[in-house]
C-alpha cells in the first residue's frame, strides 16, 4: 500500500500565494507590484517565494522590494544593509529609504513607512504585505478590545485600496495585497528554517525579559513593548494552551464578519439613499456636483425613524463618516444623533461636533490644507438631519458678494454668469443665464429697449419686508427665513436680487432710484417675490433651469 506523499513546509505557502494571485488576477493585470520587506521572517519568506515562482514561470511578475529604515532602533541601519545585500544576492530590485519620525510609537512608524513607500509608487500600483493568519487573529482581538463594530472585527482584507495622507487634491491611491492571510506563523517559520533563510528578528515584536505575575501567579516575561507584542507573547499563548485552535477559529470568525460587514454596509448605504431629504423646488433650480455630497448631506428624519432600530444605527454610523479615511463614529455619537432626531422641542441650535480625522498624526505628516483636517457638524432643522463639513460651514458663514449687472438690450448675444460668493476654499456658487433675464426685463419695460438700470445681488437685508409669490403677508428677518426653509446657521448664504431702474428727480430736487425686489436665492433654490415682474422671473426659471450651480473644484 502506497502512502500519500508528505507536504513540504513550502507547499502550503505556495498554494496560498498562487490561490490569492488567481483570485486577484484581474485586478493585478497591468499593475506594477512592489513588496514591503522589513527583512523579518514573514516578508523575506514572501520575497523568496515570489522569486522562486517567478523563475519557475508560475508568477508573471517579480516584485520590487521596498525597505524603510525608520531609525527607532540602533540596529535599523544594519537591517537595511542586510535586506539590500539579500536582494542583491538574489537578483531582486530593492529600494531602501530612511525616514524621520515624530514620536516613537508603532503607529507613527507605520504611517511613515507607508508615506515613504507611496512616494516612489505610482497611482494604482500594488504593494504586497506579508501579514498572515496569526497577524489576522491578533488584529481581530485588538479591535475587539477596542470595541470595534462588525467592519473592524472583520480584521484585515486580502485586497484593499489605500490613499496617501494629505489633501484630497494630491491624494494618491495604491492597492494593498495580503496573499498569506490563510497561512500561519508556524508554517512560515517552518519554511524559513528549512531553507535557512537569514531573516531579522525584531525584539519589539516579542516580550523577552523582566518578570511580571498575573492574578493567577502565572510568571510571564516582558520588556518595554507595544500592545500587539503583549497580545502575541502573553495572551495568545495562554489562549492556545487552553484552545489549540484559537487562531484558526478567530481567523474564521473574522472572515464571517467580513462577509457580514459587506451585507451591513450595502444595506446601510441603501437606507441612506432612501432617507435623503428631497428638495421640493420644481423645476430643479440648483445643480449640485456629486463631490458636494461629502460637504453637506441631509437626511429626512421621518424616513430615518421609520427604519428598524438596528438599521437606524447602522445608517447613521455610516452617514457620519462618508470619506474613505474618516474614522468610524463611536456608538456614543450615534446615540446622540438618534436622540437629536427624536427631540420634540423647537431648539434648532444644537450642534454635535464629530472630529472624524485621526488627531495623532505626526506634525511632519500633516498637510496644511484645511480640507485634510476637517471635522463635521451635525444639526437638526425641522424634519432635516444635516451633516456639514467644517470647510463647508466656513463657506456658509462667508457673506455673498454685492454686485450689479447692467440691463442689456435684446441685441446683446453673450450669456453671463455671476459668482454669488468669492471662490474661497474652492467652492463655487454661480448664477447663470443672467443676460437672458435682463433681456426679458428690458423687453417688458420698454418698447424701444431704452432702459437704464441694473440687476443687483446682495446679502438679504434683515429688515427688508417682502411677499413671496403666491403667499400672503409681508415678512422679514427670522419669519422670512422660516418661510423659505432656511436654517439659522445658513442665513449668511441668502442672496437678494433687486431690479434698480433709472434715476428720478424728487420734488425736493434729490435723486431716487426705483428698487423692486425680484427673487431670493438660497441653497435650496430660487424663491420668486411678488412684483410687477413676477411673470418675467417665472418664465426665466422655466426656460433656463437650473439657473444656479454649486460645485467644489478639485483643481
CATH of the domain at 143: 3.40.50.620
Q: Which range has highest mean pLDDT (168-172, 292-296, 345-349)?
A: 292-296
Q: What is the mean pLDDT of residues 83-102?
A: 90
In the block, cell 430643479 appears at 284
Is residue 467 situated within a structural domain?
yes
Q: Which helix (H) or strand (E) holds 353?
A: strand 351-354
pLDDT reading at 103 higher than 70: no
Q: Is residue 511 part of a domain?
A: yes
Per-residue pLDDT at 213 = 41
Last residue of a domain, one of 171, 201, 231: 201
Same domain, 432 and 520: yes
Contact yes or no for 108/92 (Cβ under 8 A): no
* 449 and 532 assigned to the same domain: yes
Q: CB atoms < 10 A from the CB of 490, how many?
A: 22
* Cα–Cα separations (whole angstroms), residue 40 to 58, 93, 199: 24, 17, 5
Is 123 found in the same domain as 96?
A: yes
Please report whether residue 218 resides in a domain: no
Asked whether residue 410 carries a pLDDT value surpassing 60, the answer given is no
- In a domain? residue 421: yes
Q: For residue 178, what is its C-alpha cell? A: 495580503
325 vs 508, higher pLDDT = 325
pLDDT in tens, 196-223: 998 988 766 655 433 344 444 333 433 3
Per DSSP (E only), the strands in 256-350 are 286-288, 296-300
479 and 526 part of one domain: yes
Do 188 and 115 lie in one domain? The reply is yes
Residues 6+ apart with CB under 8 A from 549: 286, 287, 289, 428, 429, 430, 432
**Of 156, 177, 201, at which residue does a domain stop?**
201
Q: Which of 463, 398, 402, 400 is nearest to 425 (CA)?
A: 398
Report yes or no: 42 and 71 within 8 Å, Cβ to Cβ: no
166 vs 52: which has the higher pLDDT: 52
Question: Does 464 share its domain with 478?
Answer: yes
Residue 89 has pLDDT above 80, yes or no: yes
Calpha distance 536→543 (Å, rounded):
11
Q: Is the same domain home to 426 and 377? A: no
* pLDDT band at 126; cut points 50, 70, 90: very high
| For residues 419-448, average pLDDT | 85
Work out the pLDDT band at 450, boundaries 50, 70, 90. confident
Residues 297 and 299: their CA atoms lie apart, in Å, by: 7
- Total of domains in the chain: 3
pLDDT: is 505 or 498 the higher one? 498
Say if residues 384 and 277 touch (Cβ distance below 8 Å). yes
Domain shared by 300 and 186, yes or no: no
Residue 207 lies inside a defined structural domain of this protein: no
- Asked if residues 33 and 197 have their Cβ atoms less than 8 Å apart, the reply is no
**Do residues 197 and 111 share a domain?**
yes
* 456-480 pLDDT tens trace: 999 999 999 999 999 989 999 989 9
Mean pLDDT of 4-30: 88
Query: 238 lies in a domain?
Result: no
What residues contact residue 532 under an 8 Å CB cut-off, 6+ apart? 516
Q: Quick check: is 407 in a domain?
A: yes
- pTM confidence score: 0.80
Structural domain for 61, as ranges = 10-201
Give the end of a domain, one of 134, 166, 201: 201
In a domain, 3, yes or no: no
Which grid coordinates are listed for 223? 520588556
Residues 446 and 387 in one domain: no
Cell of 170: 494630491
Q: Is 196 exposed, middle or buried (0-12, 13-18, 19+ CB in 10 A)?
A: exposed
Residues 170 and 121 in one domain: yes
> Does residue 346 share a domain with residue 402?
no
Neighbours of 86 (CB within 10 A): 22
Q: Are strands 376-381 and 211-213 parallel, antiparallel or unpaired?
A: unpaired
**Which residue is associated with the grid cell 484559537?**
246
Cell numbers for 549: 450651480
Confidence (pLDDT) at 204? 62
Amino acid at each position: 500500500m502506497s502512502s500519500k506523499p508528505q507536504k513540504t513546509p513550502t507547499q502550503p505557502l505556495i498554494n496560498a500565494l498562487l490561490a490569492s494571485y488567481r483570485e486577484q488576477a484581474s485586478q493585478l493585470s497591468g499593475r506594477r507590484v512592489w513588496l514591503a520587506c522589513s527583512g523579518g521572517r514573514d516578508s523575506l519568506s514572501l520575497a523568496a517565494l515570489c522569486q522562486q515562482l517567478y523563475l519557475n514561470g508560475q508568477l508573471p511578475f517579480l516584485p520590487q522590494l521596498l525597505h524603510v529604515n525608520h531609525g527607532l532602533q540602533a540596529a535599523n541601519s544594519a537591517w537595511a544593509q542586510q535586506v539590500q545585500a539579500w536582494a542583491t544576492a538574489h537578483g531582486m530590485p530593492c529600494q531602501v529609504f530612511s525616514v524621520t519620525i515624530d514620536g516613537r510609537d508603532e503607529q507613527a512608524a507605520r504611517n511613515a513607512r507607508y508615506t515613504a513607500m507611496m512616494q516612489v509608487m505610482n497611482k494604482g500600483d500594488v504593494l504586497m504585505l506579508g501579514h498572515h493568519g496569526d497577524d489576522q487573529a491578533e488584529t481581530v482581538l485588538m479591535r475587539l478590545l477596542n470595541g470595534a463594530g462588525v467592519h473592524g472585527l472583520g480584521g484585515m482584507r486580502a485586497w484593499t485600496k489605500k490613499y496617501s495622507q494629505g489633501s484630497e487634491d494630491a491624494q494618491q491611491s495604491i492597492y494593498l495585497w495580503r496573499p498569506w492571510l490563510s497561512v500561519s506563523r508556524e508554517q512560515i517559520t517552518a519554511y524559513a528554517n528549512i531553507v535557512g533563510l537569514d531573516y531579522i528578528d525584531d525584539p519589539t515584536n516579542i516580550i523577552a525579559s523582566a518578570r511580571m505575575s498575573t492574578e493567577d501567579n502565572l510568571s510571564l516575561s516582558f520588556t518595554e513593548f507595544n500592545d500587539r507584542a503583549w497580545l502575541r507573547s502573553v495572551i495568545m499563548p495562554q489562549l492556545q494552551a487552553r484552545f489549540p485552535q484559537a487562531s484558526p477559529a478567530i481567523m474564521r470568525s473574522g472572515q464571517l464578519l467580513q462577509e457580514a460587514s459587506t451585507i451591513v454596509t450595502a444595506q446601510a448605504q441603501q437606507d441612506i439613499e432612501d432617507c435623503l431629504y428631497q428638495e421640493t423646488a420644481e423645476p430643479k433650480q440648483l445643480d449640485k456636483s456629486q463631490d458636494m455630497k461629502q460637504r453637506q448631506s441631509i437626511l429626512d428624519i421621518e424616513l430615518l425613524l421609520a427604519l428598524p432600530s438596528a438599521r437606524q444605527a447602522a445608517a447613521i454610523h455610516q452617514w457620519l463618516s462618508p470619506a474613505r479615511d474618516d474614522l468610524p463614529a463611536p456608538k456614543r455619537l450615534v446615540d446622540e444623533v438618534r436622540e437629536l432626531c427624536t427631540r420634540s422641542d423647537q431648539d434648532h441650535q444644537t450642534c454635535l461636533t464629530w472630529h472624524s480625522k485621526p488627531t495623532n498624526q505626526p506634525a511632519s505628516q500633516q498637510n496644511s490644507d484645511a480640507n485634510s483636517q476637517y471635522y463635521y457638524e451635525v444639526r437638526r432643522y425641522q424634519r432635516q438631519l444635516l451633516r456639514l463639513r467644517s470647510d463647508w460651514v466656513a463657506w456658509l458663514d462667508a457673506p455673498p458678494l454685492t454686485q450689479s449687472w447692467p440691463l442689456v438690450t435684446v441685441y446683446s448675444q453673450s450669456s453671463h454668469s455671476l459668482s454669488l460668493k468669492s471662490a474661497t476654499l474652492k467652492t463655487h456658487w454661480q448664477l447663470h443665464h443672467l443676460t437672458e433675464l435682463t433681456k426679458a426685463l428690458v423687453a417688458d419695460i420698454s418698447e424701444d429697449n431704452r432702459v437704464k438700470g441694473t440687476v443687483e445681488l446682495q446679502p438679504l437685508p434683515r429688515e427688508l419686508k417682502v411677499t413671496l409669490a403666491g403667499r400672503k403677508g409681508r415678512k422679514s428677518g427670522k419669519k422670512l427665513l422660516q418661510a423659505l426653509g432656511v436654517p439659522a446657521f445658513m442665513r449668511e448664504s441668502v442672496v437678494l436680487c433687486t431690479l434698480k431702474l433709472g434715476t428720478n428727480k424728487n420734488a425736493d430736487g434729490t435723486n431716487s432710484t426705483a428698487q423692486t425686489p425680484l427673487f431670493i436665492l438660497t441653497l435650496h433654490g430660487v424663491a420668486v417675490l411678488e412684483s410687477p415682474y413676477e411673470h418675467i422671473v417665472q418664465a426665466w426659471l422655466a426656460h433656463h433651469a437650473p439657473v444656479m450651480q454649486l460645485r467644489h473644484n478639485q483643481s
